[in-house]
Amino acid sequence: MKLLYVANMRMPTEKAHSIQAMQMCAAFVGSNFEVELVAPRRFNKIKSDPFEYYAIERSFKITKLPCLDLIPWLGHFGLWIETASFQVSLFFYLLFKKADIVYTRDKSCLLPAFFKKNVFFEAHTFPKNYFLYSFWINKAQGIITITKGLAELFLAKGIKPENILTAPDSVDLAKFKINEGQAQCREKLGLPLDKKIILYTGHLYSWKGVDILAEAANYLGEDVAVYFVGGAEEDIEKFKVQPASPRQGGSATCLAASRRELKVSVVGHRPHSEIPYWMGAADVLVLPNSGKEEISRAWTSPLKMFEYMASNRPIVASDLPSIREALNGNNAVLVKPDDALALAQGIKAILENTPLAQQISQAAFQDVQQCTWQSRAQKIVQFFSASIK
């Protein structure tokens, strides 16, 4: 059977969505599909071959269609132009293209549902202007959501329960099974051997709670180093110079002038193949999502969460419904979101309690064994079979 995975994204990119797309294409191949990934031909600072960049077997085809990529010059308006031009290319490409399944995680790519059967939409957010997309969403054969919170929103819009599947994100367990111990990982990355290392991986968006972790560093001892790995160049610069927030119970005189003066190291984007060694070097992995935005509170299923679990390192995370779909009090330390002091206390609880660190690490590692891309793809393929009439 032929599956076309349509993705309006740079390929490769520093963002996690391309990791997810590549992994799912490979997993669908493992479920006996002939897979073609269709993406726009865009300007890209990353020149690497996607298969080499993500260390994924060259088991499927990648087709890049022409588009007007004016995003570097026109910003958000350029994104609209890029999206519209890609849809034109996609329309003509798919018009005479045979496929048993058309699969996309981009609501803007649901146009094929008008003239193609068996179009499936994987939702990672809920459209702000739902009425603009409702016709195309209703035309889709089925909807896959990454959290139960997202599924409930589509149900409230009248989508039938049998047309929705919740399938959280997953992880490639083999990539996080490294032979190097903590000291070897630190030597490989040039990290200090005499510090407790607290690690965050991923983008530096505010809803991911990175500002809270930066402030929490103020409450940690001199023997603790906090590292941020990831983020686009423009976001890194904004993050570095962002004014610090007051300590709880403190005064303005207690403030650092900028993020540069806080006890954090901003490493920037690193190849995904290097991330397992960063996690292996860490003492605590942090998922500090904010509870102030719904995307964080109810919609997200972070790739890093499953990677953290697979790394067999203790996790501190915000206590949010989206996070609780994988983490709980048995496999992580959950803390009040948007509270730097509570986050610091959660980190200290692990650093000061070795049995607790070992207990939650092992529990998370056991729990994630069922959260593979292969098992996720199999679940979705079963949904295809049940949905196609």
Angstrom distance (rounded) from CA 334 to CA 206: 19
SS3 state of residue 135: helix
Instruction: Name the token pair of 157.
Output: 């819009």
Please report, for residues 32, 78, 154, 318, the alpha-carbon distance to residue 297 in angstroms, rounded to integers and kept in the order given.
36, 29, 16, 9
Report pLDDT digits (tens) over 34-56: 999 999 999 998 899 999 999 89
Residue 370 pLDDT: 94
Could you tell me if 364 and 377 lie in one domain? no
Residue 232 region, left (φ>0) first, then alpha (ψ -120 to 50), else beta? beta
Could you tell me if 230 and 242 lie in one domain? yes
pTM of model > 0.85? yes
CA atoms within 13 A on the CB side of 56: 28
Residue 244 pLDDT: 52
Could you tell me if 90 and 204 lie in one domain? no
Residue 94 pLDDT: 92
Could you tell me if 236 and 331 lie in one domain? yes
Could you tell me if 231 and 348 lie in one domain? yes
Which residues in the chain come in under a pLDDT of 50?
Answer: 246-260
Whether 141 and 162 have beta carbons less than 8 Å apart is answered as: no
Could you tell me if 149 and 67 lie in one domain? yes
Report pLDDT digits (tens) over 220-266: 999 999 999 998 888 888 887 665 554 444 333 333 334 445 579 99
Nearest Cα residue to 360 out of 327, 322, 321: 327
Could you tell me if 209 and 309 lie in one domain? yes
What's the total number of domains in the chain? 2
Strand ranges of the sheet holding 34-40, from the earlier edge strand across to the other edge: 61-65, 34-40, 2-6, 101-104, 119-123, 142-145, 164-166
Angstrom distance (rounded) from CA 9 to CA 78: 14
Residue 388 pLDDT: 86
Could you tell me if 91 and 204 lie in one domain? no
Q: What angle do CA 338, 340, 341 make, to 5 degrees?
A: 125
Angstrom distance (rounded) from CA 85 to CA 386: 34
Could you tell me if 145 and 271 lie in one domain? no
Could you tell me if 126 and 271 lie in one domain? no
Residue 242 pLDDT: 66
Could you tell me if 282 and 162 lie in one domain? no
The domain of 307 spans: 173-370
Cα 252 from chain centre: 35
Could you tell me if 365 and 383 lie in one domain? no
Whether 199 and 282 have beta carbons less than 8 Å apart is answered as: yes
> Burial, 181: exposed, middle or buried (Cβ in 10 Å; 0-12, 13-18, 19+)?
exposed
State the CATH number of the domain containing residue 85: 3.40.50.2000
